[in-house]
C-alpha cells in the first residue's frame, strides 16, 4: 500500500465530514451552536424604531375652557406590547406635572394612548409625549402641543363648575361671594367690591377679563396699615371696607358707601366702642360705633357709584349682620 502523508489524511477527513453533514447543519453552523448563532443574528437587528404623535382635543381657537378636562391622545408606532409613554405638562414654560400611560394596540401597527388634563389656572400650557428607550423599542418624543385658556363672562344666575371656581378664587383673594355653584346677589356685591379695589367700573358683572384675573390670583385689597395687627380699614377713595388679619392680609372686603361731601366721614384711627344690634330709629341696622355718632351699619340705600351717607359707613343690609359679627369692641379701625 502506498504511504499517505499526515496532511493528506487530515484534508481527506475534513472533506468526508463536509460531504456527510446535513445542509441545515452547514447553514446554521451545526448542532447546538447553530441555534445560538440564529439568536445572535436576530439580536443584531436591535430594538424597533419608534414614532410618537400627540393630539389635544376640545380646543376653540387654540384655547381650552378653564376648569375643563382636556382630552390628550396619541399614537406610538410601531406597537410593541408592554410599552408606555410619559406625558409631560407645562405651564408658562415650566413643568407642572407628568403622567405615565400604557400604550394599547390600535389600528394597523400603531399603539394608542389617552388621558385627560384638568386646566385649573390661567396661563399658556403645553403637553409632550416621551417614550423612553427599552430593549424592544427605541426612544422617541413628540413635539410640544401648546394651548391657551379661555374664560367666560359670569352674570347673575350663571351656574356650574366655572362659577364655583370663580367664587372660590374671590374668597381666596379676601372677598365674600357666598357659597354654592351659582352667581347670586352676594357674589355680585363681592364683584362690585373687587371692581372698586382694582379701579374698574362700579357694577356687579364679572366679564371674561375679571374672571381671568381672579383665577390668576390677582386683585386683593392691599391695606395701608398691614403691621397694625387685626383691624378694619375703610378706604373712602375706593368706597370699600376690609377686615385685616394678624398677618396683614385682607380676609373680608365689602362694598360700602361713606359720607357725602356735605357730611363727610371722619378720618383717622379709632376703636370700636359700642354695639347696637337690630334696627334703630334712624333705620340703621346692626350698628357698631367707632367715633361719637359715626358707625358701621346696614342701610337700605348703599349706592355703588358715589358716597351717600350722613357720615357713617353704610353697608348693604344682607351683609350687615355678618359684618356686625366680625367686629369686636376695642378693635382698631383706620379711615382714610
How many Å apart are CA 250 and CA 239, to the nearest integer?
15
Instruction: Give the largest CA-CA distance in the chain.
Output: 150
> What is the DSSP-derived secondary structure letter of residue 164?
H
Residue 172, C-alpha cell as written in the block: 381666596
pLDDT at position 3: 53
226-335 folds as L,D-transpeptidase catalytic domain-like (2.40.440)
Query: Domain 51-150 in CATH: superfamily?
Result: Immunoglobulins (2.60.40.10)
How far from each other are the two terminal CA atoms of the chain, in whole angstroms? 134
199 backbone φψ class: left, alpha, beta (φ>0; ψ -120 to 50): left
Instruction: Summarize pLDDT for 14-66 with one digit per residue, the tens.
Output: 444 444 444 443 333 444 444 344 334 334 567 889 999 999 999 999 999 99
One fold for 51-150 and 226-335:
no
pLDDT at position 46: 77
Instruction: Summarize pLDDT for 211-258 with one digit per residue, the tens.
Output: 999 999 999 999 999 999 999 999 999 999 999 999 999 999 999 999
- Angle (CA) 111-112-114 rounded to 5° is 160
Q: What does the domain layout of the chain look like in residue ranges?
A: 6-41, 51-150, 161-215, 226-335
pLDDT at position 273: 98
Amino acid at each position: 500500500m502506498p504511504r499517505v502523508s499526515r496532511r493528506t489524511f487530515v484534508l481527506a477527513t475534513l472533506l468526508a465530514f463536509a460531504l456527510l453533514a446535513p445542509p441545515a447543519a452547514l447553514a446554521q453552523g451545526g448542532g447546538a451552536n447553530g441555534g445560538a448563532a440564529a439568536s445572535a443574528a436576530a439580536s443584531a437587528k436591535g430594538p424597533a424604531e419608534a414614532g410618537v404623535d400627540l393630539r389635544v382635543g376640545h380646543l376653540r381657537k387654540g384655547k381650552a375652557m378653564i376648569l375643563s378636562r382636556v382630552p390628550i391622545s396619541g399614537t406610538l408606532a410601531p406597537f410593541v406590547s408592554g410599552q408606555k409613554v410619559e406625558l409631560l405638562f407645562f405651564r408658562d414654560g415650566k413643568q407642572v406635572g407628568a403622567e405615565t400611560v400604557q400604550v394599547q394596540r390600535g389600528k394597523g401597527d400603531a399603539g394608542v394612548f389617552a388621558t385627560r388634563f384638568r386646566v385649573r389656572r390661567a396661563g399658556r400650557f403645553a403637553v409632550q409625549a416621551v417614550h423612553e428607550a427599552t430593549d424592544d423599542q427605541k426612544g422617541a418624543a413628540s413635539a410640544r402641543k401648546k394651548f391657551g385658556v379661555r374664560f367666560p363672562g359670569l352674570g347673575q344666575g350663571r351656574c356650574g363648575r366655572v362659577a364655583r371656581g370663580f367664587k372660590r378664587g374671590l374668597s381666596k383673594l379676601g372677598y365674600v361671594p357666598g357659597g354654592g355653584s351659582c352667581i347670586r346677589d352676594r357674589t355680585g356685591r363681592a364683584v362690585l367690591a373687587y371692581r372698586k379695589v382694582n379701579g374698574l367700573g362700579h357694577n356687579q358683572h364679572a366679564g371674561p377679563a375679571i374672571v381671568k384675573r381672579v383665577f390668576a390670583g390677582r386683585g386683593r385689597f392691599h391695606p395701608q396699615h398691614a403691621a397694625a395687627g387685626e383691624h378694619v380699614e375703610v378706604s373712602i377713595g375706593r368706597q370699600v371696607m376690609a377686615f385685616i388679619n394678624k398677618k396683614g392680609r385682607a380676609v373680608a372686603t365689602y362694598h360700602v358707601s361713606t359720607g357725602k361731601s356735605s357730611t363727610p366721614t371722619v378720618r383717622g384711627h379709632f376703636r370700636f366702642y359700642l354695639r347696637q344690634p337690630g334696627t334703630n330709629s334712624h333705620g340703621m341696622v346692626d350698628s357698631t360705633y367707632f367715633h361719637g355718632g359715626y358707625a358701621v351699619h346696614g342701610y337700605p340705600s348703599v349706592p355703588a357709584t358715589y358716597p351717600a351717607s350722613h357720615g357713617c359707613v353704610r353697608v348693604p343690609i344682607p351683609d350687615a349682620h355678618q359684618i356686625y359679627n366680625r367686629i369686636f369692641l376695642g378693635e382698631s379701625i383706620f379711615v382714610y
